[in-house]
């Protein structure tokens, strides 16, 4: 039944009524929950519709930004386990026995130590505005077109977000589908930030909203055993504090910090026999731009200095063309040359950024954020990945309902949807319960509090940012025509 409903929703406005009928066919109507009976949606067409103005061109050009980041790089796995335990061998040590005195005395032995880590789901739900079914197909008159197409995409094709079920080419023509796209945008905005800043301390008391631990929590020291609570220092990632120094400043040198972190983590990987490891460096796009501007000069001249006749430390002359070529190659190839290797770089809009409004350590015009080393695969096995509660596993329990349920899952079980209805009004609601799993925290790293001063801050896809841009109106004026029942005033 779920596939039937989804396909009906994706086809056209004429089929929406049929899709709602599918949900209600066995019990004579749907369960009324939060629908008020007063539609709140702005319709695509008809009186007051967003695109009801006569004579408009058929191409609608997108100017809305979508978040982009590490979501696209991480594999996704379904699961039904709410409290997994991930075992580690954390070390070996002596049992404390003394060396033997006689040739047949007992000898010292050793002890193996282990540690468990765990993970927990988040829970995010979003819903559409309230729609009236008999309003969605209306047009003002023959001057209105309902064959629009969008140039550009309002949803960035990511990993676990957005819901694929919202992505069809002609969504702009249909009110119900547009509302599903809006729900998808809200999912993407919420989860692309939760990847980094998620904290279960922000969960709602009743469990309706939950945050999974983001990478800011996972790539942090202080690891403890999930069962005993005992400290597991062997699992701690490498965390360094840049202490709000400028990324292009002289001391401390960002090249030394990143190069040392790369060397440290690679040595841990080699000595634990987890090599080869595929790391990705993640940072905000503004920080990436400033870092690459000075990286070539700093990298090439790192620890290279000469003493001139005036006893002043200077660096040898560098070829400017070589530095520019290196900078441009890194920017265009999205990598950073570290210890002679090209390490992939992903810029992520969801990474938390400090400014003069939220941090006393940052002056106006300055910004600060973190740089992350994230192990994506070790020995060919994914070690940082998404998991989601698999809603397809409800099928067995749903069988006794004989298709009377008013919910369905999409996107391989990642998203669960439902429709709330009162008479001819309805709301579409979706939810997802995901989490980020970092199986090798000891192979991860983070350089905190890196300061940068870009000439211009980039636009933000998040509406709570001062760099978020929008405009226009959420609706169009309703045309007024005079008649015997609507006399001129």
* pLDDT surpasses 70 at 454: yes
Whole-number Å distance between alpha carbons of 10 and 5: 9
Range list of β-strands (E), 226-276: 238-241
C-alpha gyration radius of the chain: 28
Q: Who wins on pLDDT, 481 or 70?
A: 70
| pLDDT score for 315 | 57
Question: Could you report the per-residue pLDDT of 340-366, keeping only the tens digit for each?
Answer: 999 999 999 999 999 999 999 999 999
CB 347 within 8 A of CB 283: yes
Where is mean pLDDT largest: 65-69, 71-75, 240-244? 240-244
Helix, coil or strand: residue 66 = coil
CB-based contacts of 301: which residues, under 8 Å, 6+ apart? 315, 316, 318
Question: Could you report the per-residue pLDDT of 252-297, keeping only the tens digit for each?
Answer: 899 999 999 999 999 999 999 999 999 999 999 999 999 999 999 8
Query: How sure is the predictor about 160, in pLDDT bands with cuts at 50, 70 and 90?
Result: confident
Average pLDDT, the chain: 87
CB 247 within 8 A of CB 290: yes
Ordered alpha helix ranges (H), 31-159:
none
Q: State pTM to two decimals.
A: 0.86
Whole-number Å distance between alpha carbons of 229 and 222: 11
φ, ψ for residue 17 (rounded to 5)?
A: -60, -40
Query: How sure is the predictor about 14, in pLDDT bands with cuts at 50, 70 and 90?
Result: very low
| pLDDT score for 313 | 54
């Amino acid at each position: 039944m779920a596939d039937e409903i989804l396909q009906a929703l994706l086809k056209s406005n004429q089929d929406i009524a049929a899709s709602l009928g599918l949900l209600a066919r066995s019990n004579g109507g749907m369960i009324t929950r939060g629908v008020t009976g007063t539609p709140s949606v702005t319709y695509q067409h008809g009186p007051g519709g967003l695109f009801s103005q006569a004579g408009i061109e058929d191409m609608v050009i997108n100017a809305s930004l979508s978040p982009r980041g590490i979501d696209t790089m991480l594999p996704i796995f379904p699961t039904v386990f709410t409290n997994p335990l991930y075992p580690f061998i954390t070390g070996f040590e002596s049992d404390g026995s003394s060396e033997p005195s006689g040739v047949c005395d007992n000898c010292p032995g050793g002890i193996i130590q282990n540690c468990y880590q765990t993970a927990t789901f988040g829970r995010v739900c979003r819903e559409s505005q309230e729609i009236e079914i008999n309003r969605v197909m209306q047009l003002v008159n023959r001057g209105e077109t309902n064959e629009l197409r969008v140039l550009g995409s309002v949803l960035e094709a990511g990993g676990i977000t957005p819901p694929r079920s919202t992505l069809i080419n002609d969504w702009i023509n249909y009110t119900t589908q547009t509302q599903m796209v809006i729900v998808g945008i809200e999912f993407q905005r919420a989860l692309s930030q939760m990847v980094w800043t998620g904290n279960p301390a922000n969960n709602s008391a009743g469990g309706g909203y939950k945050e999974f631990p983001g990478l800011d929590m996972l790539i942090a020291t202080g690891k403890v055993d999930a069962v005993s609570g005992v400290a597991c220092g062997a699992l701690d990632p490498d965390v360094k504090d840049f202490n709000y120094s400028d990324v292009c400043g002289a001391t401390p040198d960002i090249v030394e910090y990143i190069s040392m972190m790369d060397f440290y983590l690679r040595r841990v990987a080699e000595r634990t026999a987890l090599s080869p490891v595929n790391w990705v460096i993640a940072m905000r796009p503004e920080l990436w731009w400033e870092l690459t501007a000075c990286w070539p000069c700093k990298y090439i001249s790192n620890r290279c200095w000469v003493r001139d006749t005036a006893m002043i430390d200077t660096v040898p002359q560098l070829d400017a063309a070589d530095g520019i070529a290196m900078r441009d190659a890194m920017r265009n190839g999205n990598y950073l040359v570290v210890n002679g290797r090209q390490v992939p770089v992903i810029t992520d809009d969801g990474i938390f950024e400090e400014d003069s409004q939220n941090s006393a350590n940052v002056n106006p015009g300055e910004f600060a954020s973190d740089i992350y080393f994230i192990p994506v695969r070790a020995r060919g096995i994914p070690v940082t990945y998404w998991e989601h509660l698999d809603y397809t596993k409800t099928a067995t329990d749903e069988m006794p309902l004989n298709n009377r349920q008013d919910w369905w899952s999409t996107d391989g079980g990642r998203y669960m949807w439902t429709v709330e209805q009162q008479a001819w009004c309805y709301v579409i609601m979706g939810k997802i319960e995901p989490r980020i799993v970092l199986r090798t925290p000891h192979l991860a790293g983070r350089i905190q509090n890196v300061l940068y001063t870009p000439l211009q801050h980039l636009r933000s896809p998040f509406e709570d940012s001062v760099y978020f841009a929008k405009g226009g109106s959420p609706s169009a004026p309703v045309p007024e025509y005079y008649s015997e029942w609507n006399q001129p005033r």
